[in-house]
Amino acid sequence: MVRTVADYLKMLWALMPRGRAWSRDQSSVMNQVLHALAEELARVDSRAAELFSERDTRQAFELLPEHEYDLGLPDECSGEAETITERRRRAHAKLIALGGLHKQYYIDLASALGYTIAIEEFTPFWSGVGLSGDPAGDQWVIFCWKVKVYYLSGQIIWLQSGAGESGDPICYVPAADSLVCVLQKYKPAHTRILWEYVGPALDRSFSRAFDAIPADEEWWLDGAFDRAFATAFDVYFGGAFTRDAFDDAFNHPG
């Protein structure tokens, strides 16, 4: 618990002798002197409390460069233009990256970097072991595993007061390059990672566009549906959508 100026002023007065020469009036010179001492003691107390946060790589600000130096950061998996939040995540991920051969270790490692992933492992089809309907994989698939990277709304990093610095973007979605680098670095050397990226489904905007059309009107036949769909796409996916692009996707599937 951090002690305030009032707390220290009370303690200092408790140490002073009593008598008419030691006026406790707030306007007295003695009270002003003790108040100045109490302010400095409270400042030191507050800084000492901040040190407990600074020792945690997930909360460090002033000591973040020292943590990075101790952990050998930046390294080959670090980006050039990183925010304070990304640097904290990178330092924490490096700190807990002790190695492991189970799925949860890599899931936790990705989580420390700010990613949500799922891991799928493969097994060959062995006679006497496999059942009807099981995938028929070759023997080499036992050395492969798939990482599904989920881009969710919670992945967006927002600039926070006291946690960012001048030049950081208001919000952004970090690229997966750092995750790929880190998992490739810590994976078992004899294995191969297959990557799959899973983002928001297109059908959400498509459904919203249809929901916006009144069932008893036909104004959408004159192009209003195209505009409604484009608007829904822009709002929920942040990118332009045109009828030509929609037609092209149907004409050239896959």
* Residues 221, 191: Cα–Cα separation, whole Å: 54
Task: Report, as an integer, the average pLDDT of 62-67.
Answer: 93
What three-state secondary structure class fits 93? helix
| Least confident span in 55-69, 89-103, 107-121 | 89-103
pLDDT band at 65 (very low <50, low <70, confident <90, very high): very high
Instruction: Decide: 87 and 120 in contact? Cβ < 8 Å.
Output: no
* Residues 8, 211: Cα–Cα separation, whole Å: 64
Q: How much is the pLDDT for 229?
A: 59
